[in-house]
C-alpha cells in the first residue's frame, strides 16, 4: 500500500482533529464498505452533488453511467472533483442537547477523473463492480454486448488527497452532567440487506444464487458475509 495521505489546505480536517485519519487503510476501508458515494463537481460556479455507485481498484475509485450523464460528461473533462462516502453508524444521545452527535465513518476524496477508454479495461472494470456486489455473478449473466459496452461510460479517479473522519462510542458529556438521571447512549444504525425478492418473471424453482443470500452490506469488500445473516 502506498504512503499515507498528507493533510493539505484542502483535505485537512478543520474541526475535531482527533476524529481525523489520513492513513490509506482507514480511508480504503470506508470506501470498500460502501456502494454509494456522493460526487461533487462544479458547473459555471454552481456545485452539484450526484449520488452514484463506486468501487475501488488500488489507489483509484471508479464509477460509471450513461454516456449522456451530465455528471460524467463534466467530470471526464478532468475538473476538480470531491467524492464523499458516509456511513451513518448511530445516533449519539447525550445528557445535554449540545453533546448530541452521530457515530459515522466518512471519507472525502479529492482528485480529477478521467474516462476509461480502453475497451478491455472498461469491461474488466464493470466486471469488477458486479463481482464486488455479487461474487460469481458475472459468469452467470447474459454476456455484455459491444453496444452496451460502448454506451456505458466508466471514469476513474486517482485519489490525490483524502481525509477520513470517524466517530465511535458513547456520548461525551460535561463532567457534572453525568450525575443527572438522564438516559444517554447510542442508537446503532446499520444498512442491512433483506431476503432477495425474485423478479415475478423468474421461472419457479430458479434458486437464489448463494452470492445473493441475505448478508450484511457493511461486509462488502472486507470479509465474508456474517454467519448470522447468511440465511
* Between 25 and 172, CB nearer to a second copy: 172
Residue 190 touches a second copy, criterion: CB under 8 A: yes
Residue 41 touches a second copy, criterion: CB under 8 A: yes
Number of residues counted as binding a second copy (CB under 8 A): 94
* Between 25 and 42, CB nearer to a second copy: 42
Residue 132 touches a second copy, criterion: CB under 8 A: no
Would strands 152-158 and 60-66 be described as parallel, antiparallel, or unpaired? antiparallel
Residue 136 touches a second copy, criterion: CB under 8 A: no
Residue 155 · residue 63 · CB < 8 Å:
yes
Figure out which of the listed residues 106, 114, 128, 219 binds a second copy, where binding follows CB under 8 A: 106
Instruction: Give me the residue label for grid cell 455484455.
Output: 144
- Give the C-alpha separation, 61 to 34, whole Å: 12
- Give the C-alpha separation, 53 to 24, whole Å: 20
H/E stretch holding 53 reads: strand 46-57
Residue 197 touches a second copy, criterion: CB under 8 A: yes
Least separation in angstroms between residue 215's CB and a second copy is 9
- Give the C-alpha separation, 49 to 60, whole Å: 20
Residue 193 touches a second copy, criterion: CB under 8 A: yes
Residue 48 touches a second copy, criterion: CB under 8 A: yes
Binding mask 7-26 for a second copy (x = CB under 8 A): ---x---xx-----------
Residue 168 touches a second copy, criterion: CB under 8 A: no
Figure out which of the listed residues 1, 200, 223, 227 binds a second copy, where binding follows CB under 8 A: 200
| Of 72, 68, 8, residue with least CA distance to 41 | 72
Residues recorded for the chain: 231
Residue 196 touches a second copy, criterion: CB under 8 A: yes
Task: Give the range of 20-28, 55-63, 173-181, 222-230 binding a second copy by CB under 8 A.
Answer: 173-181
- Give the C-alpha separation, 209 to 181, whole Å: 51
Task: Give the range of 24-32, 113-121, 167-175, 221-229 binding a second copy by CB under 8 A.
Answer: 167-175
- Give the C-alpha separation, 105 to 87, whole Å: 5
- Give the C-alpha separation, 16 to 63, whole Å: 30
* Between 56 and 89, CB nearer to a second copy: 89
Would strands 46-57 and 101-115 be described as parallel, antiparallel, or unpaired? unpaired
* Between 61 and 81, CB nearer to a second copy: 81
Amino acid at each position: 500500500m502506498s504512503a499515507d495521505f498528507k493533510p493539505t489546505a484542502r483535505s485537512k480536517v478543520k474541526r475535531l482533529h482527533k476524529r481525523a485519519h489520513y492513513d490509506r487503510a482507514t480511508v480504503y476501508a470506508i470506501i470498500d464498505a460502501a456502494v454509494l458515494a456522493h460526487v461533487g463537481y462544479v458547473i459555471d460556479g454552481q456545485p452539484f452533488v450526484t449520488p452514484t455507485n463506486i468501487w475501488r481498484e488500488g489507489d483509484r475509485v471508479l464509477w460509471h453511467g450513461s454516456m449522456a450523464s451530465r455528471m460524467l460528461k463534466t467530470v471526464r473533462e478532468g475538473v476538480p472533483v470531491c467524492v464523499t462516502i458516509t456511513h451513518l453508524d448511530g445516533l449519539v444521545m447525550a445528557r445535554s442537547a449540545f453533546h448530541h452527535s452521530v457515530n459515522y465513518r466518512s471519507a472525502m476524496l479529492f482528485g480529477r477523473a478521467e474516462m476509461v477508454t480502453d475497451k478491455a479495461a472498461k469491461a474488466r472494470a464493470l466486471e469488477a463492480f458486479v463481482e464486488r456486489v455479487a461474487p460469481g455473478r458475472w459468469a452467470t449473466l447474459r454476456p455484455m454486448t459491444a453496444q452496451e459496452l460502448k454506451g456505458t461510460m466508466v471514469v476513474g479517479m486517482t485519489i490525490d488527497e483524502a481525509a477520513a473522519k470517524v466517530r465511535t462510542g458513547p456520548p461525551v458529556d460535561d463532567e457534572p452532567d453525568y450525575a443527572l438521571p438522564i438516559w444517554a447512549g447510542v442508537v446503532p444504525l446499520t444498512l442491512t440487506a433483506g431476503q432477495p425478492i425474485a423478479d415475478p418473471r423468474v421461472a419457479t424453482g430458479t434458486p437464489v444464487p448463494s452470492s445473493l443470500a441475505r448478508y450484511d452490506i457493511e461486509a462488502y469488500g472486507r470479509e465474508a458475509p456474517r454467519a448470522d445473516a447468511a440465511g
